Structure 1
Amino acid sequence: MRTAIPRVGIGVVSDGSAPTAGTCGQGVCLVLQGAKQMLIGEKMLRYEAGSCFASLVELPTTRYVFEGNRISPYIATSLTIDKDAFNALVADTPAGSTNRGASAFSVATASRQLLEAWDNYLALLDTPEDIPVLAASRERELMYRLLQSPHGPMLRQIGREEGKLAKIRQAIEWIRQHFDQPLEIKEVAERSGMSIPSFNRHFREATSTSPLQYQKTLRLHAARRLLAADTDAAHAAFQVGYESASQFSREYSRLFGRPPRQDASLLRKNIGSAADVMI
C-alpha cells in the first residue's frame, strides 16, 4: 500500500500460508514484524523483523510470508529509491567501497541508526501537513544510513554506468522493454560487451536466474495483469510473446499455482492479486 510519503509503502499480511508469485522492484524493504521467505531464481532468502532487503533491479520472485497471523501479522515498509537524489547524496559523501560482488540484491540486519532514521521518516504519517516540508531531508537521512549499512557498497552501483553489474542492469532494462519479443542471447550479450558464456554467468550471479527464465517470468506476470483486466487467456498469451497457448497454460500454472482461466476468475473477484511489487 502506498502512503502519503512519496515512494514509501507499508504492507500488512495476516495470512502467510499460501506461496505467492510476484516481483520486487529497485528499492529497499524493512521488516517490522513477522518474517518472510522469498525465492529469487535459485536462491532462497529468509529475513525477519529488523532485517532489510535491498535490490538494484526488478526481480521476479516466489515469496510467502510466515510467522504472521491475524493476531500478530507480518508488517513491512519499503522505499523506492530516487536515483537522482541518491546520486546527489553519494556525491556529497566520502568515497566508500563499491560492491566487488556481482549480486544485485542482498539482505542485512538493520543498524540502530538505520532503524531510527526509518522511524523518523515514517513518523511523518502522523503529521501529514509536515510531509511537503520535511520529507526530503528525512529521506536523505534514511538514504545516508543505507549508504553506511552493509547494503552501501552495492547501492553505490545505482549511479555507475561501467562495470559488469552496470552492464547487466542495462541488459535487464532492455529485456524488460522487449520481453514480448524473441530473446537472442547473442544480441543482448553483444550489447553488454560480453561473450555469451560471460554474459550468462554474470546475469545469473546478479539475478540468480538465467536471461531466458527472467524473460519468461516477466511474460507471465504481464499476462496475469492482462487476465485481471478481462483479457481472455489465449489473447493474453499471444500478446506477451507466447506462440503456444498450451505451453503458456502449463508455465502459468507452474508459477501461479492455478490455470490461467481459474486464476483470472479469482483475480476479477479480488480473491487473488495481480500486484507486481511485493513488500
Structure 2
Amino acid sequence: MHQLQTLADIIARHTESDGVFATEIPRLSLVRMSKRTEPMQGVQHPSLCLIAQGTKQVLLADEVFEYGPARHLIASADLPITGQVIEASPEEPYLSIKLDLDLSVLGAMMIEMPPAPETFTTAKTCGKAICLSRTDPQLLEAAVRLLRLLDTPDDIPFLAPLAEKELLYRLMRGDQAKKLHRMLMPESRLQQVNRAIAWIRQNYAKPFSVDRVAQEARMSTSSLHEHFKEVTAMSPLQYQKQLRLQEARRLILSEALDAASAAHRVGYDSPSQFSREYRRLFGAPPIQDVSRLKTEPASFAPASA
C-alpha cells in the first residue's frame, strides 16, 4: 500500500537518529531503530501502535505478539510487557508511531456515534488487553493525514484534534470496536479489571490480598482471578511482581540506588529473593544488567510501540 511508504517517509523525515521522539501533536510519538534490539521491559499504556517499516515482537507474560507493516496493536490497559525490534537495518530502519488513547474523546465519540454495523457487533474479538489487527486503507489514510501535520506545525492546534478524531473513528469501526467499547463501559469486565490494575499500580510496593483487589474491582475473588488472567495473561500477584521489578530496575539505573535499597523501596524483604526474581525477568543480576544497559543503550528499544 502506497500509504505505508508515505507513512514511513514522514516518520523517517522527523527521526534522524534511533530513539523515541515526542511530537508537537499531543499524545503522538515516533520510533526509529536501525538494528535489531535486545528485549526491553516496560509498561504499555492504552494506545495504538502502528508499524510502517520493520517488525516488532511483544511478550505479555508467556504470550507472543509479532507484527509488522500493515498491522497494528491496540492496548486497552496498563500492562507490563517485553518489547523487541526483531527486523531493522540502517537501510530499512524500524519505523512506527504510538498514539496514546484519549479516553475522554473516545467516550464522547461512543455516545455520539450511531450504533455499529451488525458485522462489528457480532465479530469475535480477542479477550486480551493487547490485540493485533490488520490495518485497512482507511485507517492508514487517517494516520497519514495526522502525521502530515508535522510538516505544517502551525496547523497542528487546529487540525490535529480533527485528524486524531478521524483515526479514533476508524478504530471504533474496526475489528477491535467491541474492545474499545468495553474499555469505556463502567461495569464491563475490562473496566473492572482496569480498576484492579489501577489499584495494584498505586499499591504495588505493599503486601496485599487478592480479596482486597477484588473489592476494589467490585468483583468476586474467583471472577477477578478468571478475568484478570484473561485480560493480562497473569495473576494479580504476578502483575505486582512485574511492576516491582521494573521499578527497581528504573531506580538502580536512573537514581543510582544499590540493589538492596531498590529492592526495599519496591517492597522486597529478602534481597536474595529479589536477586533471583530480577535475574529471572531480566536475564542477569541487577549490577550486570544495569551495566549492560548503560554501556549499550542503543541496543535496547523501548518496550512499547
Short-chain TM bin: over 0.9
Residue 205 (1) aligns with residue 230 (2) = yes
Please, which runs of 5 or more residues in structure 1 have no aligned partner?
none
Question: Displacement, 1:42?
Answer: 2.2
Kept in 2, the 8 Å contact 1:124–1:130? The answer is yes
8 Å Cα contact 1:224-1:274 kept in structure 2: no
- Deviation of 1:191 after TM superposition, in Å, equals 2.9
Residue 272 of structure 1 deviates from its aligned partner by 7.0
State how far apart, in whole Å, the 1-side matches of 2:49 and 2:126 are: 21
Corresponding residue number in structure 1 for 2:173 = 148
1:2/1:177 Cα in 2 relative to 1: closer, same or farther (>3 Å)?
same
Tell me, in whole angstroms, the C-alpha distance in 2 between the residues paired with 1:277 and 1:57.
Answer: 15
Amino acid at match of 1:198: S
In the TM superposition, what is the alpha-carbon distance from 1:164 to its structure 2 partner? 1.7
Output the amino acid matched with 2:109. Answer: L
Q: Could you tell me the TM-score, scaled by structure 2's length?
A: 0.85
Q: Any gaps of 5 or more consecutive residues in structure 2?
A: 1-20
- Aligned equivalent of 1:134, options 133, 156, 159: 159
Structure-2 residue corresponding to 1:265:
291
In the alignment, structure 1 residue 20 sits paired with structure 2 residue 46: no
State how far apart, in whole Å, the 2-side matches of 1:275 and 1:119 are. 24
Partner of 1:248: 274
Q: Name 2:7's counterpart in structure 1.
A: none
8 Å CA contact 2:51, 2:97 repeated in 1 = yes
Write the letter of the residue equivalent to 1:157.
R
The structure-2 alpha-carbon separation of the partners of 1:197 and 1:273, relative to structure 1 and needing over 3 Å to count, comes to farther
1:154-190 CA-to-partner distances (Å, cap 9, x unmatched) read 1122321102221111001100110101131111123
SS across alignment from 1:124: helix
2:35 and 2:87 in contact (8 A); partners too: no
Matched, 1:34 2:59: no
- Structure 2: how far apart are the matches of 1:175 and 1:274? 27
Q: Which residue of 2 aligns with 1:71?
A: 91
**Are positions 1:50 and 2:64 aligned together?**
no
Q: Does 1:225 align with 2:250?
A: yes
Structure 2 counterpart of 1:177: 202
- 1:237 maps onto 2:263 in alignment: yes
